[in-house]
Structure formats: structure tokens, C-alpha cells
Amino acid sequence: MSLNNTLNLNLARKIINAMISFSMDNNMLPGSYAVTDSGGHVVALERRDSALPATVDLAIDKAWTASVMKLSAKVLDQVITRGEGWRLNVKYHGRMTLIHGAIPLIIQGEVVGGIGHSGESIEGDEKIAQAGFAGAYREEEFETNVEKGLEISRSIAESVINYVNSNKLKPVAITITDVNGWPLLIYRMDGTPYGFVEISRSRAWTSSAFKLNSHEVTKIVGEIIECPNGEDSNERFNTSQGGIYIGNIIGSLGVAGNSPEEDYKIATNSLKSLNI
């Protein structure tokens, strides 16, 4: 058996599991684990319960950097820019992240995506990202005993995926945030246009931020409001249907990929089947 050179959600989850398993075995600090496709768009992200909220976007940006530069941060930093890496950031508003722990995923000689970890020291981040790469080349699955929040998030995401597949709906992006609006999990089902990732995330944020389903927020704040998105600080306002407030251990679920009405239905029915 050999490895197929397409990056899909299953492979991204396997890579993340390999990273979590490695960091747990080595008593490393909990963090965020991200896998992006060759264009730098999120395929999967998981954050362990006690990991710092800010690690979410650092991990994503590291994976993004490795994807779009097709190089490891280590090489960009030490060989290509030789300490002048900050200059690259004039262009990308600080997104280019030349901190170790950002490596491209190479399959059959091609860069098919990026792996990013944030939450440990520089050496720790690098080791964990390497463990993710190596995990792609292991045939067996890694079993991880994750904390409650991430565990529930995973089962909600599974439930959404099953619901979408069994009802033959269009694939969706799923974001699950904590009560503070910070993602614990982002999955993009295979075939989902990447634009839906940010939509699912902003629906989940909006639900967490107002403790309401995303489309019900206009009832309390009015139809026309001044609330520009501030993605740089995780503030992202979206009042279309598809964000459900849960508010128990985890904050909200955001689903996007079909019409807003269908996305809302997917989210509510998936939660119902789990009795949440």
C-alpha cells in the first residue's frame, strides 16, 4: 500500500492525532494543531482544552506559511531570509510565520499542504510538527485520549459529517468554538469550497459571542449594525443561519456549505442525534 498524494480530511485528522499523541507521550504543553491544503486553506484544526486561545491562529498561520512558501519555517528563517524574515510581513499583514513548527507536507515529491503547531517552545513546536509529518507515513491510526472539550467537539463533528453524508447534502465546513468564541475544532469535509471555512467560523463565533443561534442575533442587536469583522482578533460577525449556541463545556457549532437554512438544519439535527 502506498500513500495517495491528495490531502483529505481523514489524512489531516490522522496527522493531527499523530501530533497530539506525540505531545502527550512527551509531556509537552497542549497547543493547537493545524493542517492546511496546498493553497494554505484550513483542512483541519484542533485545539486542546487548556491550550492558549491565541495558538489557534498561530498554528493556522504556520501551516499557511509552509503551504504557500512550500518550505519549512526553519529553512525560510535560517537559509532563505537569514534573519530578515520580518520583511516578508510587509506584504501579508503578519501572516507569514517564520517560527519553527511550520513544515510542508510532502507526498510523492509534491507539497500537498502544510502542518503547523503552536503552543510549545520553538524546539517543541518543531518536534510536534515533525511528528505530524511522520504520522502521515504511518499505516495505523494513533489513538489519543483527549480532554473533554475536544472530545465532545470531535463527536459533534462526526455527527455533522454522518448527517451530511447520509442525507447526500453538499459537504460542509464545521467550526466548534469554546464559550469565548475561540475554535476548538475546524474541519473541512472533502469537496467543500474553502470559502466556507471562514463562514462556519464566523457563525460559531457570533453564536458564542451573543449566546444565541447566529441568525437570532439580529433580534437583539437590530438588522443594520456597525460591527466590522476583525479577523485579526478573532472577532467575526455573521448573522446568517448555521451557527448554534450550545454553551455547555463548549460554546457553539458553526456549519457552512449549503444554503443557510440547510446549514441550520444540519447543525440542529446533528446535535439532536447526540442529545445536546
Q: Which one of 4, 10, 26, 180 is in contact with other proteins (CB under 8 A)? A: 26
Nearer to other proteins, 138 or 272 (CB): 138
Query: Given the rule CB under 8 A, which of 24-32, 83-91, 154-162, 227-235 is the region that contacts other proteins?
Result: 24-32
Helix, strand, coil percentages (3-state) for the chain, rounded to 5, are 45, 20, 35
Question: How far is the C-alpha of 245 from the C-alpha of 179, rounded, in Å?
Answer: 9
Sign of the four-CA dihedral 256, 257, 263, 269: negative
Taking Cα atoms as reference points, which of 135, 137, 105, 103 lies closest to residue 117?
103
* Closest approach of other proteins to the CB of residue 27, in Å: 6
* Closest approach of other proteins to the CB of residue 124, in Å: 10
* Closest approach of other proteins to the CB of residue 71, in Å: 8
Query: Given the rule CB under 8 A, which of 20-28, 48-56, 177-185, 197-205 is the region that contacts other proteins?
Result: 20-28
Q: Based on the shown chain and the rule CB under 8 A, indicate whether residue 1 belongs to the binding site for other proteins.
A: yes
Q: Based on the shown chain and the rule CB under 8 A, indicate whether residue 196 belongs to the binding site for other proteins.
A: no
Q: Are 142 and 21 in contact (CB under 8 A)?
A: yes
Q: Based on the shown chain and the rule CB under 8 A, indicate whether residue 221 belongs to the binding site for other proteins.
A: no
Instruction: Say how many residues touch other proteins, by CB under 8 A.
Output: 24
Question: How far is the C-alpha of 233 from the C-alpha of 175, rounded, in Å?
Answer: 17
Taking CB under 8 A as the criterion, which residues in 72-101 touch other proteins?
Answer: 72, 74-75
Kindly write down the DSSP assignment for every residue of 68-83, as one continuous string. HH-S-HHHIIIIISTT
Nearer to other proteins, 26 or 229 (CB): 26
Taking CB under 8 A as the criterion, which residues in 101-160 touch other proteins?
Answer: 103-104, 106-109, 127, 130-131, 133-134, 137-139
* Closest approach of other proteins to the CB of residue 61, in Å: 17
Q: Are 11 and 30 in contact (CB under 8 A)?
A: no
Question: How far is the C-alpha of 119 from the C-alpha of 46, rounded, in Å?
Answer: 12
Question: How far is the C-alpha of 123 from the C-alpha of 264, rounded, in Å?
Answer: 42
> How far are the Cα atoms of 183, 207, 268 from residue 175, in angstroms, in the given order?
7, 11, 14
* Closest approach of other proteins to the CB of residue 62, in Å: 13
* Closest approach of other proteins to the CB of residue 74, in Å: 6
Residues that bind other proteins (CB under 8 A): 1-3, 22, 25-27, 72, 74-75, 103-104, 106-109, 127, 130-131, 133-134, 137-139
